[in-house]
Amino acid sequence: MKMTEIGNAELKKRADAVFIGNYARYPAAMVRGEGCRLVDGDGREYLDFLAGIAVCSLGHCHPKVTEAVREQAGLLVHVSNLYYTEPMTRLAELLVANSFAEKVFMANSGAEANEAAIKLARINGGQGKFEIISLTGSFHGRTLATVAATGQPKFHEGFEPMPAGFLHAPFGDLEAIEKLVTDRTCAILCEPLQGEGGVRPLEKEYLQGIRKLCDEKNLLLIFDEIQTGMGRTGTLFAYEQLGVIPDIMTLAKGLGNGLPIGAMLTSTQLAAAFVPGTHASTFGGNPVASAAAVAVLGVMLEDGFLPGVRERSLYFRGELEKLAERYPTIISRIRGLGMILGAVLTDTAVAMGTDIVNAMFEKGFLMNFAGNVALRFVPPLVVTMAEIDELISALDGVLAEVNV
């Protein structure tokens, strides 16, 4: 691979001098990627089990996505949503054809997609019905409304007062949700699996109970599939495995395989509440990002792609479970769906979570620690069994060093 002329230390020095310090970055400047591998400014190679936090699902610089971006960038990069474009239209057609939805709103991020969902739920609720119930441990974005919807107080600290109308029910407690429902409630918002909350799946029966409650109380059910969508769980969307169909679904992350794009999907009936001037996005459905997303969906819908993800995810889970058996004082259990897997640390090992991730970085493996409880693995969906073996071998070595 071609090396950059700027090494890690020099670029870090320049960047730290000019960027606001709201990220705790590792001392590596990534300059090139291919498949599941990244190379930094010093020429060091990393095996990526983070994928931009579940974004680069087809791996870095997938040739079909790269070609789609190149071709579209030579034709048309941007026009206002006052005009139609073919890539955005084609993407919406594919999303509708392969989901419960009939209508799509294009955004440029997950937070923006969730903002659209919140606004659509409120305008459909009508006068006085504005409250949205979400779950503790959830994560829905970094804008002020989506932070308010997020059920983790640490994300609220310093930004109070939060926008009104967001309530949080204890995770897994259907009765608690029901007690929060009032005449002001318009929707229940949840992730089928909490990624940032520690790779915590919602039980199928629990989600089905929430759906039933929404039907009985005339509430909308919003699924945040920003992390679980686009093949991450082994089906195109997680809801397909749960026997629950939402009224609104939000997507982003893996949708563009690294290009910034989000989407909110819903029914024709609900979408009718958005009329010209109600809501908009300057960059939503950008032609280049949409062309990338069309290429992503094209690959994911090929015969054998999603079954292959499921096969390799079962192998990955099995290998992680072997580690859990080998180190019971460190890992209590493995949980997750498909290629979003978490190794839940024991109470005594939680304090070592960040140290384990840092030790893996030093060995050339990217992963993170989610919800202050689980080592999170969200590799590109094209990860091979041999690459999984490399990670397991390295993690085995790190756990052996910290084992007590």
245 is in an annotated binding site: no
Round to whole Å and give the CA distance between 236 and 234.
Answer: 7
For residue 126, with 0-12 CB atoms within 10 Å meaning exposed, 13-18 middle and 19 or more buried, which class applies? exposed
21 is in an annotated binding site: no
Round to whole Å and give the CA distance between 383 and 385.
Answer: 7
85-105 CB burial, b ≥16 within 10 A, e <16 = bebbebbbebbeeebbbebbb
The count of C-alpha atoms lying within 13 angstroms of the C-alpha of 56, restricted to the half-sphere facing its C-beta, is 21
211 is in an annotated binding site: no
The three-class DSSP label of residue 138 is: coil
For residue 74, with 0-12 CB atoms within 10 Å meaning exposed, 13-18 middle and 19 or more buried, which class applies? exposed
111 is in an annotated binding site: yes
β-strand pairing of 248-251 with 220-224: parallel
Structural contact between residues 43 and 8, judged by C-beta atoms closer than 8 angstroms? no
Phi and psi at residue 9, in whole multiples of 5°? -65, -45
Q: Which strand (E) or helix (H) includes residue 377? A: strand 374-377
48 is in an annotated binding site: no
| CB-based contacts of 138, cutoff 8 Å, min separation 6 | 149, 150, 151, 152, 168, 189, 190, 191, 194, 197, 224
Round to whole Å and give the CA distance between 90 and 291.
Answer: 8
Structural contact between residues 56 and 382, judged by C-beta atoms closer than 8 angstroms? no
227 is in an annotated binding site: yes
Cis check: omega of the bond before 328, within 30 degrees of 0:
no
Report how far apart, in Å, the C-alpha atoms of 400 and of each of 48, 370, 396 are.
22, 21, 6
Q: Which strand (E) or helix (H) includes residue 259? A: none
Structural contact between residues 47 and 366, judged by C-beta atoms closer than 8 angstroms? yes
34 is in an annotated binding site: no
Round to whole Å and give the CA distance between 174 and 181.
Answer: 11
130 is in an annotated binding site: no
Cite the annotated binding site for pyridoxal 5'-phosphate by residue number.
110-111, 139, 224-227, 282
Cite the annotated binding site for N(2)-acetyl-L-ornithine by residue number.
142, 281
Cite the annotated binding site by residue number.
110-111, 139, 142, 224-227, 281-282
